């Protein structure tokens, strides 16, 4: 949804920074995996199942 908002306002979705904190490590890993799968951030490892 945020991506569509930025595009509709002619902003580059790759130029934003997102800050936050997650207490539960599992939730953090799922969020990071989602960002990688959507192409919003590069994969941090050569093997996708090793997201840290």
Tens place of pLDDT per residue across the chain (52 aa): 777 787 788 777 677 777 778 889 999 889 888 888 888 788 776 565 655 5
The pLDDT assigned to 26 comes to: 92
Q: How many domains does the chain have?
A: 1
> What's 40's DSSP letter?
S
Contact 48, 36 (CB under 8 A): yes
The pLDDT assigned to 48 comes to: 56
**Dihedral sign for Cα atoms in the order 32, 38, 39, 40:** negative
- Whose tokens are 């509709």? That residue is 8
The parent domain of residue 34 ranges over 2-50
Contact 40, 13 (CB under 8 A): yes
């Amino acid at each position: 949804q945020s991506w569509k908002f930025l595009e509709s306002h002619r902003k580059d979705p790759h130029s934003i920074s997102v800050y936050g904190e997650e207490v539960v490590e599992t939730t953090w890993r799922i969020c990071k995996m989602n960002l990688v799968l959507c192409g919003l951030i590069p994969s941090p490892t050569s093997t996708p199942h090793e997201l840290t």
